[in-house]
Amino acid sequence: MNRSSVFLKCYQETGSIARASEAAGICRDQHYRRLRKDKKYAAAFAEATEVAIGVLEEEALRRAVYGVDEPVVFKGKFTYDKVKGKDGRMKRSDQPLAIRKYSDSLLQFLLRGARPEKYRERYEHTGPAGGPIESKLEVVFVERIQS
């Protein structure tokens, strides 16, 4: 697999030019130069960008809708549940306790993207009694007095 293919594949998976450059063993400038000069490469990069955006959207959906588990920490240490061992005695669980957390802000972004007409932020400005806003521009010329 050549360096361009490695770059594009990594970019599709991460959406990061820096990571893709590192994986392919090239500097970012090399990518940008090729992007300007090679139309075929530019088209392949545009396709890779669409795939990368899909990956990022899937991750946003996962965090917003399904959530992520964050370990419970107390006094700087993970906390564990007690479970019954094979011998019937209580012992510490192998897995730390976790709380599932969801991202409301990512959910808002997903909704705004899916239905912007419904979920976009609206700013309506009106004048008195809901009428139009009237504006008046007055220009005053002042004559300068010479002393």
101 phi, psi to nearest 5 deg: -115, 140
DSSP state string for 53-81: HHHHHHHHHIIIII-EEEE-EETTEE-EE
Q: What is the pLDDT of residues 125-136, one digit of tens each?
A: 888 887 888 888
DSSP string, the chain: --HHHHHHHHHHHH--HHHHHHHHT--HHHHHHHHHH-HHHHHHHHHHHHHHHHHHHHHHHIIIII-EEEE-EETTEE-EEEEE-TTS-EEEEEEEPEEEE--HHHHHHHHHHH-HHHHS-------GGG-PPP--------PPPP-
The overall pTM is greater than 0.85: no
Amino acid identity of 2? N
pLDDT of 49: 96
Walk along the chain (147 residues) in steps of 10 and give the mean pLDDT of each run: 92 95 94 95 96 94 95 94 88 92 93 88 80 85 78
Sorted by where each begins, the domain ranges of the chain are 1-67
pLDDT at site 35: 94
Q: What is the pLDDT of residue 50?
A: 96
Q: Is the dihedral of CA 102, 103, 109, 112 positive or negative?
A: positive
Give per-residue pLDDT as tens, 61-77. Answer: 999 999 999 999 999 99
